[in-house]
């Protein structure tokens, strides 16, 4: 099964290396996402990519290197999506809102990427943790920078903003994972739940006060 | 190395099975926490426990079963600690506060347990995910029940409380992991950061309003 003929280019010899690498990585993300790292086979990745195994080895190395390259690429795309979603001129709540929307939009549109990034890579540990920790670190820095910009003028010490950024990223990861199993919830809804939790806080929610985006 | 002579009982034959099993599990948690699942050896567990390998196999099975038994025991202890920390008669914020305190106290006092539960078991995936997911599910239910008790009278739909409970548990896990690398932060401080994030919300924190426990 699963030879995807449509993805096989007609004139394989002429494609520039970057196009070929993109094909390989696209195929690898799909296969790793579906079968997990251990059960994914280079044969299937080769078939889905329409690229021979020797060429995959030459371009991107063996399975472990290929998986690391997938994590690196998807993590970069995710962090860029979040950073691109934040509008620096907006008030802090709207900056966070746009960042959360961008995060959940990425997860919703790139479910395979998220599955590889979060579920597969986390469950492999070892050599891939470094790539993942790098991604988490960049996401935490983004949130931390937002908190520091909004909060330091009020005397909140920066170690607490780092810790809160860590907590917020963990909350987002956990909720994104839950969302994969509840795909009927709209992206905007899941983002607003997290926004309400971390911006309004449960105290306000218990009192019946919730956060809504300001009209733009 | 690492034969821990002090833990070896003097009269090995006379101990009842439950005591022997506890010794084995204590030793296994310590060794798994230190070396990770793959690098942990049954020889070392046998040495640390002062129990022969054939007896370990007879009582608790092979390495995989032993690891699963560790996760099950530590997860049960953790969930019991949290459930025991919550005081049902207290107002919702104090219930959450006591639950968070109990969680971070467990992590702080049982760092090896937390390392096995969260870092090692997560990075193994496979047969251990089920044990772990069971634990997370129980923790999520505890938080969800608290949110439902406090919030449903104000019309917050229960799917959002489940999602917020998932997010809160993810925030706690992420922060606990961060705390392992920042052991200089007192337990009460790290708990109050998470409490402020999820109870007051960043909106109030940006305004300079923070949460403090009511005197008891």
Model confidence at A19: pLDDT above 70? yes
Contact yes or no for B169/B143 (Cβ under 8 A): yes
The answer, for A80 touching chain B at a CB cutoff of 8 Å, is no
Same domain (yes/no): B41, B87: no
* CATH code of B14's domain: 1.10.10.60
The answer to whether B13 and B56 are in contact (CB under 8 A) is no
Tell me: pLDDT of A32 over 70. Answer: yes
Q: What are phi and psi of B211, to 5 degrees?
A: -95, 135
**Percent of chain A, pLDDT > 70?**
83
> Over the stretch A74-87, which tens digit does the pLDDT of each residue have?
888 988 998 888 88
Per-residue pLDDT band at A16 (split at 50, 70, 90)? confident
Closest-CA distance, B216 to chain A, in angstroms, reads 19
Residue A209, chain B, CB below 8 Å: the answer is no
Chain B residues within an 8 Å CB radius of A175: 163, 166-167, 170
Place of tokens 């953790």: B78
Q: Are both B125 and B193 inside the same structural domain?
A: yes
B:19-38 residues touching chain A, CB 8 A cutoff? 36
In a domain, A214, yes or no: no
Check if the beta carbon of residue A120 is closer than 8 Å to that of residue A180. Answer: no
pLDDT of residue B44: 96
Q: What digits encode the pLDDT tens for the residues A137-176? A: 888 998 888 888 776 555 555 688 899 999 999 999 999 9
Q: With CA atoms as reference, report the closest residue to B2 among B66, B120, B35.
A: B35
Q: Are residues B96 and B184 part of one domain? A: yes
Question: In this predicted structure, what is the pLDDT of residue A117?
Answer: 76
Same domain for A189 and A98, yes or no, is yes
Q: Which of A36, A175, A199 sits opposite B202 (nearest CB)?
A: A199
- Asked if A214 reaches chain B (Cβ–Cβ under 8 Å), the answer is no
The whole-angstrom distance between residue B157's C-alpha and the CA centroid of its chain comes to 29
With cut-offs at 50, 70 and 90, classify the pLDDT of residue A123.
Answer: low
Residues A75 and A96 both lie in one domain? yes
Domain check: are B149 and B178 in the same one?
A: yes
**Average pLDDT for residues A115-135, to the nearest whole number?**
72
Q: What percent of chain B has pLDDT over 90?
A: 38
Where is the domain boundary, B13, B37, B61? Answer: B61
**Residue ranges, chain B, pLDDT below 70:** 1-13, 120-127, 151-158, 206, 208, 216
**Chain B residue closest to A125 (CA)?**
B123
- B95 and B184 both lie in a single domain: yes
Average pLDDT over residues A26-41: 89
Same domain, B141 and B175: yes
Q: Do A163 and B147 touch (CB under 8 A)?
A: no
Which pLDDT belongs to residue A30? 92
Distance of CA B106 to the CA centre of its chain: 6
Q: Are residues A97 and A187 in the same domain?
A: yes
Assign A125 a pLDDT band (cuts: 50, 70, 90): low
Establish how many alpha carbons lie within 13 A of residue B41's alpha carbon, considering only the half-sphere containing its beta carbon: 6
Same domain, A57 and A160: no
Average pLDDT over chain A, rounded to an integer: 83
Cα separations in angstroms, B126 against A140, A141, B38: 28, 31, 13
Q: Give the closest of A151, A156, A197 to B167, CB-based.
A: A197
The stretch A93-103 carries a mean pLDDT of: 90
Q: What is the CATH number of the domain that holds B161?
A: 1.10.357.10
- Please count the structural domains in chain B: 2
Q: For residues A11-37, give the mean pLDDT.
A: 86
Chain A residue numbers with beta carbons less than 8 Å from the beta carbon of B147 are 202
Sequential DSSP letters for B112-166: HHHIIIIIIHHHH-GGGHHHHHHHHHHHHHHHHHHHHHHHGGGT--HHHHHHHHH
In a domain, B26, yes or no: yes
Is there a domain that residue A215 lies in? no
Task: Kindly determine whether residue B147 and residue A202, on different chains, have CB atoms separated by under 8 Å.
Answer: yes
Q: Give yes or no for A180 touching B (CB within 8 A).
A: no
- Same domain for B98 and B196, yes or no, is yes
pLDDT of residue A136: 85
- Domain containing A186 equals 70-206
Q: Does B159 lie at the interface with A, CB-CB under 8 angstroms? A: yes
Last residue of a domain, one of B61, B85, B100: B61
Question: What's the gap in Å between the CA of A64 and the closest CA on chain B?
Answer: 16
B82 lies in the same domain as B47: no
Select from A206, A207, A209, A210 the residue whose CB has the most chain B CBs within 10 Å, as the one to mutate to test that interface.
A206
pLDDT at B165: 92
pLDDT of residue B156: 55
Closest CA to B50 of B98, B96, B84, B15: B15
Q: Cβ contacts (< 8 Å) between B164 and chain A: which residues? A: 193-194, 196-197, 202
Q: ipTM for the complex?
A: 0.82
- The predicted-structure confidence for A49-81, as pLDDT tens digits, reads as follows 999 999 999 999 999 899 889 988 988 898 899
Q: Residue A1's pLDDT is what?
A: 46
Give the whole-angstrom CA distance, residue B105 versus residue A7. 54
Q: Does B194 touch chain A (CB under 8 A)?
A: yes
């Amino acid at each position: 099964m699963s030879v995807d003929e449509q993805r096989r280019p007609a004139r394989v010899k002429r494609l520039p290396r970057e196009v070929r690498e993109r094909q390989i990585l696209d195929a690898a993300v799909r296969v790793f996402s579906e079968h997990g790292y251990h059960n994914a086979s280079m044969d299937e990745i080769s078939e889905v990519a329409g690229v021979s195994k020797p060429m995959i080895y030459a371009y991107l190395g063996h399975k472990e290197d290929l998986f690391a390259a997938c994590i690196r690429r998807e993590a970069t795309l995710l962090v860029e999506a979040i950073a691109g979603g934040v509008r620096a001129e907006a008030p802090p709540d709207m900056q966070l809102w746009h960042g959360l929307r961008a995060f959940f939009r990425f997860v919703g549109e790139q479910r395979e990427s998220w599955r590889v990034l979060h579920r597969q890579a986390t469950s492999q540990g070892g050599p891939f943790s470094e790539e993942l920790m790098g991604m988490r670190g960049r996401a935490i820095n983004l949130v931390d920078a937002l908190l520091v910009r909004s909060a330091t003028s009020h005397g909140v010490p920066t170690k607490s903003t780092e810790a809160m950024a860590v907590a917020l990223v963990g909350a987002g990861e956990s909720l994104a994972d839950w969302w994969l199993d509840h795909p009927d919830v709209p992206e905007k809804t899941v983002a607003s739940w997290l926004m309400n939790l971390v911006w309004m806080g449960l105290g306000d929610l218990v009192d019946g006060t919730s956060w809504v985006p300001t009209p733009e």
